[in-house]
């Protein structure tokens, strides 16, 4: 309905302006004498001219142009419509009265008056919106590769404008597709908008019939929803095209629309979830001017924590990491990007309690983010004692060091694999959760908080880098099971929400669970990544290898007795459930660590099952201590 309302307003404007142009042309030609010489026909002539203009403008598609994006092609369209209007009017008047009383030179004046009164408001509206006239006089590129744009918002218009400015631009917009269909039939910068509400096949066929076949479908940021990306991937495969996207308007320094380029569609665009807005003011208040320590700073989560924290102006940033190479890389990156930030790159093993406590005493951190852990499920299954010593013992060491050093807040990074765990890795992370929560509820020390979430895209050892490596090698892609699913989010959003959860007011021992959206089927992700690479599943192939040791078909974010309640910030929920007393769990964990140190894997696993009765490992497997 909104589309017709805008068209009606535009048509009414042009018809009124056409009538006024007829009167203005006569006045400019006859002056004050118009009321004497033309009184007999001025009203009838104005109405006739306006009616002819309305019909001609409708037939030539003038009304389909959008004032917000009025440009030189729209002026040319108006010029053609005005010329045709004058010619039709001349023919009608000639047949009617042989043009005996109407001054013929007024027709030329009428053309200029009509162009001024109809085109002027369009260009003035565009100039006011853009803050200047720079974008209304742009050239088309006759040699560019034809592309179709999915979307009709500002991103689409900016990309089309960038392409029309430069004759050396690599792309020319052959058509636009409105997924909602509300603006179908309109024109933006002279480019026809097609109805995509019923799918992409029909509009792509229509664009091909009206001009050169588009060789690429370009997503705009506003129309890059995950479901739409997946639909677009399937459509371009059917039509022999490739898929790309333009840059975000909020990132002009690297914007594809500004640079005249398009970007590949990233894997994160395929996630079935929307990115969550973050209260950066609250997060900045948490970090700015504080001394921050990050364990596991060379890992995927720890590294992103370091980057985002460094950008928030901490007083000092300490990077704790066991891997020399990983620590070197993140330290050099922070040094390059934040040269004035006081920092320390500290090689530390969180399993070494004494040296960890000395480091805390030296660095005196206000806030500690504990991201260090062994996380690779099959390796943890093969090395259960090492997983216990790192994920349980290391977490206990960090938490105890926080109490001893007077740390204000410690945040434990946990995982959905800690819920009803089927793996040693998940079970040890659950034990870490229980200890930190119990320590927090005991009081008398820092505020302890735990943040639990699912997989992050691109983390070391995860499925996305594996698929990318397999694609580079020509395939096939290996998927454990056709129906296996995982919760996924980008590492950037995960860390943003970790910081957001850390900034929330609450009690010590709180458990926060990030909103992960709907789980992603790994098989679907594999197929979509193949299409993103410009190939087909038939060419690359997908092989099902069966679940690996410790893997579950579907992960969970909460236990059955945990109740999720929304917090003040979208994307972060608080989980309330069972409570464990510190006096009960700490001695049992110390015994577990003793068994792991002497290499008794069987006894260690039995102790884990006693503390975490939900731990349901697969049938007995051979393990090395």
What does the block give as tokens for 180?
Answer: 């909602």
Token look-up 């590294």 returns: 303
Chain CA centroid to CA 226, Å = 9
Find all residues with CB under 8 Å of 31, minimum gap 6, and list them: none
Q: How many CB atoms lie within 10 A of CB 548?
A: 12
The residues, any chain, with a CB within 8 Å of residue 8's CB and separated by 6 or more, are none
Q: Which helix (H) or strand (E) covers residue 347, if one does?
A: strand 343-347
Helix (H), strand (E) at residue 146: strand 145-150
Q: Where would I find the H helices in 267-363?
A: 280-287, 300-310, 324-337, 353-363
C-alpha 425/C-alpha 572 separation (Å) is: 24
The Cα 235–Cα 335 span in angstroms is 45
CA distance 302 to 598: 30
Nearest to 410 by CA among 363, 457, 376, 369: 369
Q: Is 230 helix (H, G, I), strand (E, B) or coil?
A: helix
CA torsion sign for 386, 387, 392, 394 is positive
Instruction: List, in order, residues 6 or more apart from 82 with CB less than 8 Å away.
Output: 53, 111, 114, 115, 118
Q: Is the peptide bond before 587 cis (omega within 30 degrees of 0)?
A: no
List the Cα angle 132/137/142 in 5-degree steps: 145
User: What DSSP letter does each residue of 371-421 carry, written as one string?
Assistant: ------HHHHHH-HHHHIIIIIIIHHHHHHHHHHHT-SEEEEEEEGGGSS-
509: alpha, beta or left, given left = phi > 0 and alpha = psi -120 to 50? left
Give the chain's radius of gyration (CA, Å). Answer: 33
DSSP-derived secondary structure letter, 254: G
Q: Note if 417 is an active site residue.
A: yes
- Torsional class of 81: left (φ above 0), alpha (ψ -120 to 50), beta (otherwise): alpha
CB < 8 Å & 24+ apart, contacts of 363-366: 363/291, 363/293, 363/316, 363/318, 364/291, 364/405, 364/406, 365/291, 365/292, 365/293, 365/318, 365/405, 365/407, 366/290, 366/291, 366/292, 366/407, 366/408, 366/409
C-alpha to C-alpha distance for 106 and 36, rounded to whole angstroms: 16
3-state SS assignment for residue 514 = strand
User: Does the CA dihedral 62-64-70-74 come out positive or negative?
Assistant: negative
Task: Please give the Cα distance from 108 to 26 (Å, whole number).
Answer: 11
Beta-strand ranges (E) seen in 214-332 are 216-219, 242-245, 263-264, 291-295, 316-321
* Ramachandran class of 354: left when φ > 0, alpha when ψ lies in -120 to 50, beta otherwise: alpha
417, 429, 469, 552: the catalytic one is 417
Of the candidates 291, 261, 453, 463, which has an alpha carbon nearest to the alpha carbon of residue 364? 291
* CA dihedral sign, ordered 457, 461, 465, 471: negative
As annotated, the active-site residues are 417
């Amino acid at each position: 309905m909104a589309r017709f309302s805008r068209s009606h307003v535009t048509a009414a404007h042009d018809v009124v302006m056409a009538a006024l142009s007829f009167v203005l042309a006569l006045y400019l030609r006859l002056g004050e004498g118009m009321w004497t010489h033309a009184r007999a026909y001025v009203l009838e002539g104005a109405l006739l001219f306006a009616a002819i203009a309305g019909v001609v403008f409708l037939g030539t598609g003038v009304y389909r142009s959008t004032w917000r994006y009025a440009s030189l092609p729209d002026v040319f369209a108006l010029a053609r419509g005005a010329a045709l209007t004058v010619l039709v009017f001349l023919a009608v008047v000639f047949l009617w009265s042989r043009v005996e009383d109407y001054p013929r030179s007024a027709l030329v004046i009428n053309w200029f008056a009509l162009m001024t009164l109809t085109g002027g408001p369009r260009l003035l509206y565009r100039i006011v919106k853009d803050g200047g006239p720079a974008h209304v006089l742009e050239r088309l590129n006759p040699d560019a590769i034809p592309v179709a744009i999915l979307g009709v918002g500002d991103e689409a218009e900016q990309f089309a404008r960038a392409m029309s400015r430069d004759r050396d631009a690599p792309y020319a917009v052959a058509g636009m597709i409105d997924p909602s269909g509300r603006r179908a039939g309109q024109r933006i910068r002279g480019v026809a908008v097609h109805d995509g509400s019923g799918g992409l096949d029909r509009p792509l066929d229509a664009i091909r019939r009206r001009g050169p076949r588009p060789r690429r479908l370009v997503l705009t940021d506003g129309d890059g929803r995950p479901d739409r990306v997946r639909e677009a991937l399937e459509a371009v495969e059917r039509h022999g095209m490739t898929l790309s996207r333009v840059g975000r308007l909020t990132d002009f320094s690297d914007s594809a629309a500004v640079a005249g380029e398009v970007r590949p569609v990233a894997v994160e665009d395929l996630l079935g979830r929307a990115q969550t807005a973050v209260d950066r003011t609250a997060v900045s208040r948490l970090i700015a001017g504080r001394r921050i320590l990050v364990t596991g700073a060379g890992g995927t989560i720890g590294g992103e924590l370091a980057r985002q924290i460094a950008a928030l102006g901490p007083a000092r940033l300490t990077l704790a990491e066991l891997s020399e190479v990983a620590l070197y890389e993140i330290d050099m990156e922070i040094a390059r990007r934040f040269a004035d930030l006081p920092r320390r790159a500290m090689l530390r093993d969180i399993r070494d309690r004494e040296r960890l406590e000395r480091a805390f005493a030296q660095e005196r951190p206000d806030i500690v983010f504990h991201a260090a852990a062994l996380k690779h499920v099959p390796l943890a299954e093969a090395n259960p004692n090492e997983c216990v010593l790192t994920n349980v013992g290391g977490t206990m060491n960090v938490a105890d060091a926080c109490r001893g050093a007077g740390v204000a807040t410690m945040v434990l990074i946990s995982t959905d694999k800690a819920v009803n765990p089927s793996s040693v890795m998940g079970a040890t992370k659950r034990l870490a959760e229980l200890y930190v929560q119990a320590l927090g509820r005991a009081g008398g020390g820092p505020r302890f908080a735990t943040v639990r979430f699912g997989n992050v895209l691109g983390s070391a050892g995860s499925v996305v880098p594996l698929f990318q490596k397999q694609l580079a090698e020509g395939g096939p892609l290996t998927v454990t099971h056709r129906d296996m699913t995982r919760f996924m989010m980008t590492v950037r959003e995960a860390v943003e929400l970790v910081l957001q959860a850390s900034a929330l007011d609450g009690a010590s021992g709180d458990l926060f669970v990030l909103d992960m959206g709907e789980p992603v089927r790994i098989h679907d992700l594999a197929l979509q990544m193949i299409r993103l690479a410009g190939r087909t599943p038939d060419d690359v192939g997908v092989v099902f290898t069966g679940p690996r040791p410790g893997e579950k078909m579907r992960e969970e974010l909460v236990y059955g007795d945990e109740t999720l309640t929304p917090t003040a910030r979208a994307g972060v929920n608080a989980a309330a459930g069972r409570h464990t007393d510190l006096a009960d769990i700490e001695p049992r964990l110390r015994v577990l660590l003793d068994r792991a140190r002497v290499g008794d894997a069987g006894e260690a696993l039995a102790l884990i099952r006693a503390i975490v009765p939900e731990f349901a490992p697969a049938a007995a497997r051979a393990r090395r201590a």
